[in-house]
Amino acid sequence: NVQELEKLETISERPSLGGGSRILVFVRLRPMAKKEKEVGSRCCVRIVNRRDVYLTEFANENDYLRLKRLRGRHFTFDASFPDSTTQQEVYSTTTSELVEAVLQGRNGSVFCYGATGAGKTYTMLGTMDNPGVMVLAIKDLFSKIRQRSCDGNHVVHLSYLEVYNETVRDLLAPGRPLVLREDKQGIVAAGLTQYRAYSTDEVMALLQQGNQNRTTEPTRVNETSSRSHAILQVMVEYRVKDDAKNVVNRVGKLSLIDLAGSERALATDQRTLRSLEGANINRSLLALSSCINALVEGKKHIPYRNSKLTQLLKDSLGGSCNTVMIANVSPSNLSFGETQNTLHWADRAKEIRTKSKLQAYEANEEIQYMPESETDHAKLLLEL
Ligand code: ADP
Ligand code: MG
């Protein structure tokens, strides 16, 4: 029953990050919005314990007990965050170890995935009062650097860019689209601003401003387009002595990504301009899925070239890089379909990790799944 499920503890607080690529998958439920309450929507997502999410179209306690075996579905993730979870808790659980790894010259990336309005930008950027993962990561980075060295050894640079309709733009210096070039260091956006950051204080304002520069729909000038992907890259450069006592430069890079709304990933069948944009979003999101699949399955060819997003993330996905996914969901039954898609996708990302012989978790055996009615979207992703 519910109480017993709630007592289930996590196997470990957080699987520790070792070498090699692996994906940790988290789910964050946001609070019910005022607008959703006003139209009388019900809650259809329940965080049962620290790892289990229960999705049902009937979600009050009685319905849950009565119908759980008939209509609901459980999912298990590395951690599941209820709507009361603070920004700091989300940061500590998902990203703080990646910051530590970046300080050791490794790369890492954190993605927020989910439908428009599910809480991706809140999780990544947050507000002035409640800063999100991007700001907390930089704050933590500076504090770790201070603990580590007093000699100003570390240099931190920030770049903030957007991929919209397969076009790359600099969010710190809006202007003409940037061209991607391949050089010795990998794929670079020519002319992209690398902002040298000295402290945390300046960063929130800078990122808020950058977020204002994201592409908006002509009809909704104040709202960021749901087709816009935003990438913050945090580069940490420092000097160390290698085994032969030579001084060498090392660079670690953390990529924090606020992905476009996942609901667009299906818009491929219409031949309008709108659907062309949809198709491009589809391209970036699907290209990301296939790269992750190929990487974890140990394929030789990783199809980075299929989209601008995956080209830009080439050095942040493979090798010694750690990857984290945060799936954002709304509690409202009005978003039931989108939430189901998001949880399916996140569940798939979790399977990928299992395939690569990393730590696998036992599913709760008591659980019976509802009859599957998978959407085309989920099928499409499952086939990748
Ligand atoms: P997305 O970027 O996925 O489209 P947003 O992050 O803009 O969605 O979130 C939609 C709305 O919900 C915003 O007004 C945001 O402030 C609010 N919101 C999202 N997540 C939370 C949360 N965890 N706590 C409080 N408000 C939230
Ligand atoms: Mg957003």
Q: Whose CA is closest to atom 18 on ligand 1? A: 119
- The one-letter amino acid code at 212 reads Q
Element (H, E) at 142: helix 133-148
Pocket of ligand 1 (CB under 6 A): 30-31, 33, 114, 116-122, 328
* The predicted structure's pLDDT at residue 275: 52
Q: Measure Cα distances from 113 to 17, 185, 207, 264, 347 in Å.
A: 21, 28, 19, 12, 12
Q: Residues 98, 318, 179, 214: is their CA dihedral positive or negative?
A: negative
pLDDT tens digits along 227-260? 899 999 999 998 888 788 888 888 999 999 999 9
Rounded Cα distance between 226 and 329, Å, is: 15
Question: What ipTM describes this predicted complex?
Answer: 0.99
pLDDT at 360: 30
CB of 80 closer than 8 Å to CB of 27: yes
Q: Whose CA is nearest to atom 17 of ligand 1?
A: 119
Ligand nearest to the CA of 122: 1
Give exposure, 108-133, as e/b (b: 16+ Cβ within 10 Å): bbbbbbbbbbbbbbbbbbbeeeebbb
Does residue 216 register a pLDDT over 50?
A: yes
Distance between terminal CA atoms of the chain?
Answer: 36
Q: For 291-333, how does the pLDDT look when each residue is reduced to its tens digit (9 = 90+)?
A: 877 877 778 888 899 899 999 988 887 766 788 999 999 999 9
Ligand lying nearest the CA atom of residue 132: 1
Distance 259 CA to ligand 2 centre (A): 8
Mark the binding-site residues for ATP, compressed into ranges. 114-121
